[in-house]
């Protein structure tokens, strides 16, 4: 065979662009006794491909989900699915009525102080505490805004 022709076919083969006829030519070339010395490293690869083509798989495959199930089992699953749906519906209804019962039994606290003046004092203390915290956070925020305005000089 022509050396340049074999080189072109080998290049096409490694690029994945060879045709089936060209691959047959390569197989015949590497099975022959007249292989050029520059192609000797490729001969092991083509011999490996040849030996792998002869391997036969004799075992039977069984993939999950491909077995045929009897019709009785399918009917059993369908009836089981129906009972699961009924049980889920009953469970939802029981939970709904249980939650409604809990809400009805709760008593609302209308007034916790018997003395209105004491309640007013407690409310004033709570509001004063809240006001102080809000003032501190407002001051902190104002300071941080001033620092950010200093950084706006760099824009």
Determine the average pLDDT of the residues in 131-152. Answer: 86
Residue 42's nearest CA partner among 73, 85, 11, 74 is 11
Distant-in-sequence, close-in-space partners of 27: CB < 8 Å, separation ≥ 6? 46, 49, 50
Query: Distance between alpha carbon 98 and the CA centroid of its chain, in Å?
Result: 37
Distant-in-sequence, close-in-space partners of 25: CB < 8 Å, separation ≥ 6? 1, 6, 9
The listed range with the strongest mean pLDDT (45-54, 102-111, 134-143) is 134-143
Q: What is the pLDDT of residues 53-90, one digit of tens each?
A: 778 777 776 667 666 555 555 566 667 788 888 899 99
Domain boundary among 35, 53, 71: 53
Residue 105 pLDDT grade (very low, low, confident, very high; cuts 50, 70, 90): low
CA–CA gap between residue 61 and residue 64 (Å, rounded):
10
Q: Is 132 part of a structural domain of the chain?
A: yes
Distant-in-sequence, close-in-space partners of 35: CB < 8 Å, separation ≥ 6? 29, 43
Q: Is 63 part of a structural domain of the chain?
A: no
Q: Give the DSSP letter of residue 65.
A: T
Q: Is 16 part of a structural domain of the chain?
A: yes
Residue 2 pLDDT grade (very low, low, confident, very high; cuts 50, 70, 90): confident
Instruction: Identify the domain containing residue 44 by its residue range.
Output: 3-53
In angstroms and rounded to an integer, the radius of gyration of the C-alpha atoms of the chain is 43
Q: Is 124 part of a structural domain of the chain?
A: yes
What is the token pair recorded at 125?
Answer: 């203390």
Residue 27's nearest CA partner among 41, 11, 6 is 6
pLDDT value for 68: 53
Region class of 77: left (phi > 0), else alpha (psi between -120 and 50), else beta? alpha
Q: Is 71 part of a structural domain of the chain?
A: no
CA–CA gap between residue 72 and residue 75 (Å, rounded):
5
Q: What is the pLDDT of residues 9-49, one digit of tens each?
A: 888 888 988 898 988 888 888 888 888 888 888 888 888 88
Give the CA angle between residues 112, 115, 119 to the nearest 5°.
60
Determine the average pLDDT of the residues in 100-118. Answer: 73
Q: Is 40 part of a structural domain of the chain?
A: yes
Domains of the chain: total: 2
Q: Is 123 part of a structural domain of the chain?
A: yes
């Amino acid at each position: 065979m022509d050396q340049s022709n074999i080189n072109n076919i080998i290049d096409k083969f490694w690029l994945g662009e060879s045709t089936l006829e060209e691959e047959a030519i390569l197989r015949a070339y590497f099975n022959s006794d007249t292989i050029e010395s520059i192609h000797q490293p490729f001969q092991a690869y083509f011999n490996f491909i040849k030996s792998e083509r002869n391997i036969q798989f004799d075992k039977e495959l069984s993939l999950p989900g491909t077995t045929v199930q009897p019709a009785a089992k399918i009917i059993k699953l369908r009836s089981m699915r129906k009972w699961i749906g009924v049980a889920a519906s009953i469970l939802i209804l029981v939970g709904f009525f249980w939650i409604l019962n809990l809400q009805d039994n709760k008593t609302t606290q209308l007034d916790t102080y018997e003395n209105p003046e004491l309640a007013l004092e407690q409310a004033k203390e709570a509001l004063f505490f809240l006001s102080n915290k809000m003032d501190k956070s407002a001051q902190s925020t104002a300071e941080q805004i001033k620092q950010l305005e200093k950084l706006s000089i760099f824009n």
